[in-house]
Chain A
Amino acid sequence: MAEHQAQQVAPIDRSILVDGFDDLTGGILAWPIWMRLGWNDIRQRYRRSVLGPFWITLSTAIFISFLGLIYSRLFGIDVATYLPYLAIGYIIWIFISSTTTECCSAFHENQNIILQRKLPFSIYIFKNLWRNNIVLAHNIILVVAIYLIFKINPGARVLLALPGFFVLCLNQLWLGIVLAILNTRFRDVVQIVTSIVQITLFATPILWPISRIGNARLIADINPVYHFIQLIRAPLLGELPEALSWIVALSTVTLGILCAIWLLNRTSKRIVYWL
């Protein structure tokens, strides 16, 4: 043991001092892992079921159809105008609410892996987003069906929905990281998040259109979720989103990612002990 004491103190192993930025870049580079695991999650969820992920598509279709028919009467709008608006907004909403709620338990559900091998924490958030991307891809079929049924041709503007969707994913990424960390430490965060998500569905113009409600503009404009949805919904309906939506979305994402990196810096060495 004497020779051991004569040796110098070993330098710090950089790879375990994962700072937030390294964690994020490591997570991005590990895309083969989270893509495969995300697919695995979907297969597992729908094993031995007849329709697989199309169950969600079916239940969404039923919901949209009935709500579309009833609410278009209530609001006094033409079904052909209301239903596409409702469908697109609601399908985007499913993506937002699922990713937000599921990310809370991202670290818990992957406990087994986390306790055996050191990997960037953001991998589990990416996996969640990928999983919900797959579900969204199944639901997009409904949008195509609606275009065909109502003979809508949104034109080339549709392509603008892609950058809008990318910005939404970035938003869900930072939000997912923050919520996962908080919920791992304080187990009731997911309850609070679930309540807020429910309220947001009704407070945001998804089920109701702005045009029909008097002073709705302000309620919509101060709500970031409205802007994120607009960035995707407007192009899909052949319109252009307002500049305000881009401003709100991009600044939210920028601040959010900085916040997530900061939180990872502060907590990444403790997270595993909170599981």
Chain B
Amino acid sequence: MTKITLTNVSVEIPVFDISSSSVRQMLLKKAVGGRIGSSGSHAIIDALQNVTLELNDGDRVGLIGRNGSGKTTLLRVMSKVYPPTQGEIEITGQISAMFNTTLGMSMDASGLENIRNCGMLWGLTSDQTENSIEEISEFSELGEYLAMPVRTYSAGMKMRLAFAIATALNPEILLLDEVIGVGDPSFFQKAFARIKGLIDTSRILVIASHSQPIIRQICNKAVWLQDGSLIEFGEVDHVLAAYQDKQAAV
């Protein structure tokens, strides 16, 4: 049984290198993203404010919102990387996350070495990792390239490898941050199919994306974030409609 519960979660991110007040003034006027406050010598970005959310088995949730609205921050809170400044979280289930197309891979190491390193970092046993190599090789269509250093790969190849690793062995909670964009259309379909195959009634998927078609295809629920606050959470069509109305009104 998987579950993600956030209760009144707020995240404040300090920014220390703002020394001149003129820079601070300029930032206060900026159009994108979270609120900025100030505390003595440094600026604070209120990346998330009072977010309360509960996700259960079978939820496939799309995160939508403008750049800087808090999607990445929310994903990081869910992956336990960002401890909330306030509020509480409770997460049950084994987490696999892919927040950038390189997944923390080492560029000079070969694809194979990276699979083993990542497998270990993500909590797989070495047996599990070895068993998944063939499947990763086939899914990513990298084949012999796996013996070459990752820095020789194209951006798309890196993403395919990272995605294959992140989804290997059916994680209970899968968190994706706007990463599917880089692949070519045929990989897109494969990735879709993979995600759909992964998500059965006992798992949670959270995916941040600017693409509403992607969210409509994959997700059954959606979360709309704006300036760090949760505006809407509910059925995907309902939330997307509300979001589109707001966009049209602007």
**Chain A residues near B (Cβ < 8 Å):** 1, 4, 7, 9-13, 15-16, 32-33, 36-37, 40, 43-44, 47, 112-119, 268-269, 272-274
B45 to chain A, nearest CB (A): 10
Q: Is there an interface contact between A272 and B82, defined as CB atoms closer than 8 Å? A: yes
The residue in chain A whose Cβ has the minimal distance to the Cβ of B17 is: A187
Q: Is there an interface contact between B109 and A44, defined as CB atoms closer than 8 Å? A: yes
**Chain B residues near A (Cβ < 8 Å):** 5, 7, 12-14, 16, 52, 54, 76, 79-83, 88-91, 95, 97-100, 102-104, 106, 108-109, 113, 116-117, 120-122, 126, 233
Q: Which residues does chain B contribute within 8 Å of A47, judged by CB atoms?
A: 108
The residue in chain A whose Cβ has the minimal distance to the Cβ of B92 is: A13
Q: Which residues does chain B contribute within 8 Å of A16, judged by CB atoms?
A: 80, 83, 89
Q: Which residues does chain B contribute within 8 Å of A15, judged by CB atoms?
A: 80
A81 to chain B, nearest CB (A): 44
Among A13, A32, A113, A115, contact of B76 (Cβ-Cβ < 8 Å): A115
Q: Which residues does chain A contribute within 8 Å of B102, judged by CB atoms?
A: 112
Nearest 8 CB-CB pairs, A to B?
A118-B80, A10-B90, A112-B104, A269-B83, A10-B5, A113-B104, A13-B90, A44-B108
Could you show 17 A-B contacts with beta carbons less than 8 Å apart? Answer: A1-B233, A11-B90, A13-B89, A16-B83, A37-B117, A40-B106, A114-B81, A116-B81, A117-B79, A117-B95, A117-B97, A117-B122, A118-B81, A272-B81, A272-B82, A272-B83, A274-B14
The answer to whether residues A40 and B113 also contact, given A11-B90, A269-B83, A273-B13 and a CB cut-off of 8 A, is yes
Complex CA distance for A1 and B235, rounded to whole angstroms: 12
Interface centre among A1, A9, A33 (most CB of B within 10 A): A9
B231 to chain A, nearest CB (A): 12
The residue in chain B whose Cβ has the minimal distance to the Cβ of A45 is: B108
Q: Which residues does chain B contribute within 8 Å of A1, judged by CB atoms?
A: 233
A70 to chain B, nearest CB (A): 39
Complex CA distance for A143 and B209, rounded to whole angstroms: 58
Q: Which residues does chain A contribute within 8 Å of B121, judged by CB atoms?
A: 33, 113, 117, 119
Complex CA distance for A114 and B76, rounded to whole angstroms: 10
Q: Which residues does chain A contribute within 8 Å of B81, judged by CB atoms?
A: 114-118, 272
A265 to chain B, nearest CB (A): 13
Q: Which residues does chain B contribute within 8 Å of A32, judged by CB atoms?
A: 120, 126
Q: Is there an interface contact between B108 and A10, defined as CB atoms closer than 8 Å? A: no
Complex CA distance for A113 and B91, rounded to whole angstroms: 20
Q: Which residues does chain B contribute within 8 Å of A273, judged by CB atoms?
A: 12-14, 82
The residue in chain B whose Cβ has the minimal distance to the Cβ of A114 is: B81
Complex CA distance for A44 and B149, rounded to whole angstroms: 11
Q: Which residues does chain A contribute within 8 Å of B52, judged by CB atoms?
A: 4
Q: Which residues does chain B contribute within 8 Å of A43, judged by CB atoms?
A: 109
Q: Is there an interface contact between A9 and B7, defined as CB atoms closer than 8 Å? A: yes
The answer to whether residues A116 and B106 also contact, given A4-B54, A10-B88 and a CB cut-off of 8 A, is no
Q: Is there an interface contact between A116 and B97, defined as CB atoms closer than 8 Å? A: yes
Complex CA distance for A274 and B83, rounded to whole angstroms: 13
Complex CA distance for A12 and B91, rounded to whole angstroms: 10
Complex CA distance for A242 and B76, rounded to whole angstroms: 52
B235 to chain A, nearest CB (A): 12
